[in-house]
Every structure is written in C-alpha cells, then in structure tokens.
Structure 1
Amino acid sequence: MINIRKSQERGHAHHGWLDTYHTFSFANYYDPNAMGFRTLRVMNQDQVSPGAGFGTHGHRDMEIITYVLDGALEHKDSMGNGSVIYPGDVQRISAGTGIRHSEFNHSKTDSVQFLQIWILPDKNGHNPSYEQHNFGIAKHPGQFHLIASGDGREKSLTIHQDVNLYAAILTKGDRVTHSLAPQRYGWLQVARGTVTVNGLALESGDGAALSEETDVVIAATTDAEVLLFDLA
C-alpha cells in the first residue's frame, strides 16, 4: 500500500527570511492526520535568505539530520562543534539530554535550501553527539547511498533508532530498487524533480508512505533527488 502526501498538502509558513514547508505537524502547523510516519517525526523543507538563520535554541531527545540541497549552512553548537554544510554533506545531531545550536545561511548573497529531518530516538537520555560527513552522492548518481543507520555501517552516520536512510541523485531514465524486509516500512521523499514509485507519479516535495510493499522501484521521469527511509 502506498499513501501519497502531496507537496501542496504540506503546512507552509513564510517569515520573510524563512520560507518553510512542513510534511508533518510542526510549530504552528498542526494536522492530527500528519503527525509523522513510524519513527519519522519531522520533514521540513527550509529556504533561508542570505545572512539569515535560526539563532541559538535548544533540542533534546531527538535524532536530527540536516541534508543541504543548495547553498551552504553554517552550524555552531554547545558541544563545541562549528562547521559549514554543503550539498553532499549530511549532518547528524543526537540531541539526547540536551544541546543548543544555531544555523545560519553561510552566504551573504545566495539563499540556502535544506531538509531538516527529525527521528524519534530508541530511548530518551542519550549523551548528545554530533557527526558530519560528505557522501559524494553527486559523483555517483543513479544509485542509493546509505547515509544514516542504527549501526553506522558503510561509514553512514549513526542514529539511535532502527532506521536506514538512503539518498540518491537520479538522471532522467534512471531506475533504482530497494527491498523492504517483512514488517518494515518505507517513506520516500522527493527533494527535487519527478519520479514514479511502483508506477505512481511523485513530484518535488511529495512524500509517500510505503506499507506492505516488498520491492520499491523508483524511476526518474526528470532529473531528481530522493531520500528513502527504511523504518521498523
């Protein structure tokens, strides 16, 4: 079974410096029928104006993944980490017992666009931790790259949850397949472009919840970028 969450169904807010879309309930957007999928709780698509950003604020007991699509995002946190995240980079924060951080557009001239993803941890109270890695996804298009997992295999980021997160950049005509084991679920997020999933058409910003599906076949009908979550 595949349930599609269309891009235009998402929550939307424009704060001048921030143009944001919420696949699931977040901040002032609330939809009791869109509270997440399995342990995937937040899927926000944010575009931040040059030089602007989120001032220092706190999080706890959440696995936070940042995936940059365009531009550069500057990060600082209370653990002493400071970095700039570019396309191809993926950042993971395990907020655990509590962290404070800020995120600003690193550029004074160009906007930055990124996906902010929150995953519920397997338990509360983990020690806060941080990782960032460049996976070279654009250098190897047409295939899935494991970018986060519960065990950190294949040099993926390690998250405190039974989730495998894959990313792929596809050119028109590319076709990728992923098999879901019994009692596993999938969420496909189209970051850009258009694809089909098991024959159903998806556009940029669309998401799809996959239940009782064995083989997930994604075909790019234009150049595209997708994220696939394999969830317990």
Structure 2
Amino acid sequence: MNALHRGAARATTTAPGRTTRHSFSFGPHHDPANLGFGPMVCHNDDELDPGAGYPDHPHSHLEIVTWVLEGALVHTSSDGARSVVQAGQAQLLSAGSGVRHSEIADAASGRCRFVQAWLRPDGPGGTTSYSLGEAPAGADGLVEVVGGSALPIRVTGARLLVARLAAGQAVALPEAPLLHVFAATGSARVGGLDLSAGDAARLSDDSAREVSANGPSELLVWCLPR
C-alpha cells in the first residue's frame, strides 16, 4: 500500500539552537505503529542555528546517512576523523561496533538544515567508516549519492537518490520493493499522492513509478529492501 505522511504530523524535539522533526518513532516520541520502513528506522529533518547542534554522543550498528540542504555541518568523531559536509553533499557513517561523534552547524556558513536517515545494516559490528558523496549543482533528474555505484552502504539493496526538479518536470523512479520519497523543498505528485514540503510518501505499490514536480523541488528518494 502507498501511504502519505504529512510533515505537519511529525513529532518535534526542540533544544537551544535546534529543531528536529521525526518521521518515525524516536526517543520520547514513542509510536509502536511507526517504528520504521524496511531497514529505515529514523528519518529526521534538522534545523540548526550557527554553532549549534549535537555534542559528543554514541552510535553503533547503524548506517547513518546525512544529506545537507542548507549551510554546512561539521562532523567530528572519537577516532579523530573530521569533515565538513556542505549543502548538496551526503555523508555516510557506518557506525560499526561503536563510535562517538558530534555534529555542529558551521558558524561561518550560517543556519544549517539537514536530513538524516538511520538504517539497520545487514549484520551487526564491523569497523567504523566515513565517506562523502554529492549531487552536483545543475545535475538533471535523479542522481544516486548512496548505494549502487555511489557510496557503498552495508544494507543490501538500499540506495539514496536526489532529484532537483523544475516545475512540471517528471522523472521515472527506480524499481525497488519499497520507496521512500521525501519532499525536502517544493511539492510533487507520486503514486497518486500530493506531497508538500516536509511530506513523505512510503510506496510499496509497483504502479508508483514516476514523480512529477508541481514547482521547483528537491526530493530525496530511498530505494529499500523489505
């Protein structure tokens, strides 16, 4: 079945300098009917003030994909790795058996907005690794940034594609058992569902094979196994 999840219905967590909107059950916002979609167990939409964010905290047994929409996000981990993820870039963190890291909006780049998804890997443990990918400005149609021929992810069949579409532009969606389409900006129609900014479509109907933009839009499309 195809389902539309409105952005306005997401649970929200606020703290000094940051606002997070959760698409799935998360922390104190427990919802046993909304624990995930395939291997995806978290899909957060974060807005950070310059210099604000998440201080040092742990992760393990997760594949964490961060897509920056605005500003830049400084990532620093316990093993000494440091990266600055710019708008239009994705970072893939394979947490492996465990890592601690921080995520802070780069003060020089102003306000930061990013979307972060957590996926259960095929198996627990392993070493921690980091990689960066991007969808270049001006790229047309769907651009693969994680999985497939892009950044390798430890979830068989998982891929993240980004589409920046003009009004009226349509693209064919890849074949996958499950598709998660998030309207980061703009509005679009997919699988008979109308998405506004912040909305997501969870698709398992094979007939949903095209997405069309009602206006200038940036869409995040996850292909997922069941």
Is 2:197 the counterpart of 1:198?
A: no
Alignment match, 2:215: 222
Alignment match, 1:165: 160
> Structure 2 counterpart of 1:79, which letter?
D
Alignment match, 1:148: 146
Can you give the 5+ residue segments of structure 1 that lack an aligned partner in the other structure? none
> Structure 1 counterpart of 2:180, which letter?
W
Structure 2 CA distance, aligned partners of 1:185 and 1:51?
36
The Cα offsets for residues 181-217 of structure 1, whole Å up to 9 and x where unpaired, read as 5xx1111111111000033211111111111324421
Structure 1 CA distance, aligned partners of 2:174 and 2:90?
23
Q: Assess, with a 3 A threshold, how the Cα gap between structure 1 residues 124 and 109 changes in structure 2: closer, same or farther.
A: closer
Query: How much has 1:108 moved relative to structure 2?
Result: 5.1
Contact 2:183 2:198 in 1 (8 A): yes
What secondary structure does 1:8 align onto? helix
Is 2:203 the counterpart of 1:210?
A: yes
Structure 1 CA distance, aligned partners of 2:154 and 2:79?
18
Q: Assess, with a 3 A threshold, how the Cα gap between structure 1 residues 107 and 31 changes in structure 2: closer, same or farther.
A: same
Contact 1:180 1:214 in 2 (8 A): no
Query: How much has 1:134 moved relative to structure 2?
Result: 2.8
Root mean square deviation, CA, Å: 1.4
Query: How much has 1:80 moved relative to structure 2?
Result: 2.3
What secondary structure does 1:12 align onto? strand
How high is the sequence identity, in percent, across the aligned residues?
33
The Cα offsets for residues 25-65 of structure 1, whole Å up to 9 and x where unpaired, read as 11221111111101011100000111112111110000000
> Structure 2 counterpart of 1:160, which letter?
R
What secondary structure does 2:197 align onto? coil
Q: Assess, with a 3 A threshold, how the Cα gap between structure 1 residues 169 and 109 changes in structure 2: closer, same or farther.
A: closer
> Structure 2 counterpart of 1:78, which letter?
S
> Structure 2 counterpart of 1:77, which letter?
S
The Cα offsets for residues 150-199 of structure 1, whole Å up to 9 and x where unpaired, read as xx51xx11110021211111111110111425xx1111111111000033
Q: More deviation in 159-168 or 62-71?
A: 159-168
Structure 1 length-normalised TM = 0.92
Is 2:59 the counterpart of 1:45?
A: no
Alignment match, 1:231: 224
What secondary structure does 1:20 align onto? strand
Structure 2 CA distance, aligned partners of 1:8 and 1:119?
23
Alignment match, 1:7: 7
The Cα offsets for residues 95-140 of structure 1, whole Å up to 9 and x where unpaired, read as 011111111111257210000110110010121111012331x221
Structure 2 CA distance, aligned partners of 1:199 and 1:212?
11
> Structure 2 counterpart of 1:218, which letter?
V
Structure 2 CA distance, aligned partners of 1:114 and 1:126?
26
Aligned length: 224
Contact 1:61 1:124 in 2 (8 A): yes
Structure 2 length-normalised TM = 0.94
Matches within 5 A, 1:100-179: 100-107=100-107, 110-136=110-136, 138-141=137-140, 143-149=141-147, 152-153=148-149, 156-162=150-156, 163-179=158-174
Query: How much has 1:83 moved relative to structure 2?
Result: 1.4
* Pick aligned residue for 2:178 from 179, 185, 197: 185
